[in-house]
Amino acid sequence: MWGGRFSASPDETMHAINASIGVDHHMWREDIAGSKAHAAMLTATGILTQADGEAIQAGLDAIETEIEAGTFPFSVELEDIHLNIEARLTERIGDAGMRLHTGRSRNDQVATDFRLWVRGALSQAHEALSGLMRVLVVQANCHGDAIMPGFTHLQTAQPITLGHHLLAYVEMFERDRIRLVAASSHLNESPLGSAALAGTPFPIDREKTAQSLGFDRPMANSIDGVASRDFAMEALNCLAISGVHLSRLAEEVVLWTSPQFGFAQLSDAWSTGSSIMPQKRNPDAAELIRAKVARIASNAHCLMMIVKALPLAYAKDLQEDKALTFEAFEAYLLCVGAMAGMMGTIVFNRPAMRKAATFGYSTATDLADWLVQNLNMPFREAHHVTGAVVKAAEAAGIGELREVPLTTFQAIEPRITMEAIALLSVEASVASRTSYGGTAPVRVKEQVARWCQSLTMNTK
């Protein structure tokens, strides 16, 4: 395709390092769509004849059929998907195929294909994440009143409801969805027509090709059109952030399903066994999510490091962008699907969670709050009094504050009554947290209803 300048063929190793067809063949649909839009525009503007334009469209349709049927003759010697399709087109329709590249370069061609691919992948990621959110909302609805320990520093802090805990991830994933939509919006400009870097002298209609491919507008600067990969960097960073949220939930699944916690059990479909220990149920999918998220984040960082030192406009370094991006999206979609599968079939042990919620004097803050509300005690003084009660309970070997004798309470603060002690159960604690965004079952129910409406779902 570019041999007129050279008298010798590339070295075999040069072929190996230069070829990208093993990776960018994933963009064949996007390449054909871009070529069809470009050919239609060239025909409409009179740059190509009607006959050549029709031959190109028919030839591209035939190539699409070949690729779908698995009969397309991909060639490493032709380097990439762009030259593979163009060569096959010329082989099929003759000289008209060689006219397709008029007014464009592989630089704007690959930039266009890549934007189209990333746009589609972002849409897939958004759809998959929406599915996971629905799974979590269903579980939150089922367990809106299930009591579990809430942790800070992985130490028992206060009782919460499982529904509230799960909805925290729904909130995180919603922000992830917003980022995915924003990334798609930011990339939705067409580089096609930027040519190599300077534009083209042909009277092309870039508005027409942008519209044909679903872009909002053509990119305003031809150098920017071929040189920029910030759209891919943004997309991968969106995946990395969302992946961190997935990894945190995966870590909790690992903890919750361990015998030491005993909060939940994964279904057989989402558990693995041991080759030597027959009793084991391993949360391998959750563990692999943690690892794959590291790969996603690494790919995001690697892409930035590839681009950071490149002068304008195009450099072959950018060929590496697609392998990193394809792998990151593949891993992300796999992680989201696995998490949806696990969380959709996980079985929670409500008694075990409730029992654990009573450990560590988890209702101590409720006593401090009572002292403030009923005795008009400054919170710092109430904190001190409650700490003294906890200390007395520990010394007496009493595990829950509600089991401490009233005489012990009153020895520390004489004005404490049985009314205060009655509020120190985990049920009373979670029920009292009725502030907006709180863990009370009534608030969880409200949030579930809000998410059902937002995600167009029905949990009944």
Which residues are identified as catalytic? Answer: 153, 274
- Residues 437 and 374: beta-carbon distance below 8 Å: no
| Lookup: tokens for 264 | 């939940």
Alpha-carbon torsion 120, 122, 124, 130, what sign? negative
Among 262, 266, 336, 261, CA closest to 296: 336
Residue 435 CA neighbour count, 13 Å, CB half: 2
Measured distance CA(38)–CA(103) in Å, rounded: 9
Burial class (CB in 10 A: 0-12, 13-18, 19+), 321: buried
HEC profile of 11-55: CHHHHHHHCCHHHHHHHHHHHHHHHHHHHHHHHHCCCCCHHHHHH
**On the CB side of 157, how many CA atoms lie within 13 Å of its CA?**
7
Nearest to 146 by CA among 168, 164, 161: 161
The position carrying tokens 């593949």 is 330
CB 306 within 8 A of CB 318: yes
Do 47 and 204 contact (CB within 8 A), yes or no?
yes
Q: Which residues of 5-43 are buried (b: 16+ CB within 10 A; e: fewer)?
A: eeeeeeeeeeeeeebbbebbbbbbbbbbbbbbbbbbbbb
Q: What secondary structure does DSSP assign to 290-329, as a single string?
A: HHHHHHHHHHHHHHHHHHTTPPSS--GGGGGHHHHHHHHH
Contacts of 415 (CB under 8 A, 6+ apart): 375
Q: What residue has token string 């949990």?
A: 459
Single out the residue of 237, 234, 221 nearest to residue 313, CA to CA.
221
Task: Label the pairing between strands 155-161 and 217-218.
Answer: unpaired
Q: Count other Cβ atoms within 10 Å, centred on residue 273.
A: 13
Closest CA to 375 of 345, 331, 409: 409
Pairing of strands 147-152, 155-161: antiparallel
